[in-house]
Amino acid sequence: MANTQLLDLIDAAIAKKNLLHHPFYQDWQAGKLSKQALQLYAAQYYRHVEAFPKHLRVLAARTEGPIRQIVEENLAEEENPAASHPKLWRDFAAALGVAEDDITCCPALPGTQNVVQTFREICGDRTVPEAVAALYAYEAQVPEIATTKIDGLRNFYNITKPESLAYFEVHEEADKAHRAAWRNWLAENATEDHAEILATTNEALDALWGALDAVHQTKSCAAH
């Protein structure tokens, strides 16, 4: 299978499981989520946000050459001392009335635990092309998701302060570069078993979808 065909299959898998089609994000875009549902989401999804740079660090430690540079550049953005991405997420959570103690004390739902464990296992134990494909599958979606989240927060939930939206505004732009870097690397280097790469991609997509299932099923939606 040529790499272009593999990338087409990966992109098709992403389109099929695009998180913007998930009922939770559909309700977000329509202003139908209750504040309690958003608060639960902020507390639960923080675990994925907090773990993401750790996944990158694990992958960086087992790579070398251009891919290690790509991973380390991504990691440096995540851990920017002036505004780390976990800190920006906590600022968003605070705008919803979710304090840091609330995040710490809120038990992780199974879907939340699974997305963290899945990405950790992929980045730590799978082949490098499989890990890159999983990261691409995630970050390829983020810019458009971030835009729709900002619109929903402004239009329906009265969250407009720059610090409250900064996490999403950063990802509107940063992940355009990230998805291009992951994709270009795969195009040149995905010489391993393409069936395994595609299977891992779908595993990552299912875990991301399941993380939203967790919060959507736990808190029913209500008119805002």
Q: Which two tokens stand for residue 116?
A: 């963290």
Unique residue bearing structure tokens 């675990």: 47
CATH hierarchy code of domain 3-218: 1.20.910.10
For the segment 58-86, what is each residue's pLDDT rounded down to a tens digit? Answer: 999 999 999 999 999 999 999 999 999 99
* 112-170 confidence digits (pLDDT tens): 999 999 999 999 999 999 999 999 999 999 999 999 999 999 999 999 999 999 999 99
Q: Which of 29, 66, 38 is nearest to 151 (CA)?
A: 29
**149/84 Cα distance (integer angstroms):** 19
Q: Would the pLDDT of 223 be above 80?
A: no
Q: What is the mean pLDDT of the chain?
A: 94
Where do the domains of the chain lie? 3-218
80-120: per-residue pLDDT in tens? 999 999 999 999 999 999 998 989 888 999 999 999 999 99
Closest by CA position to 204, among listed 143, 132, 118, 102:
118
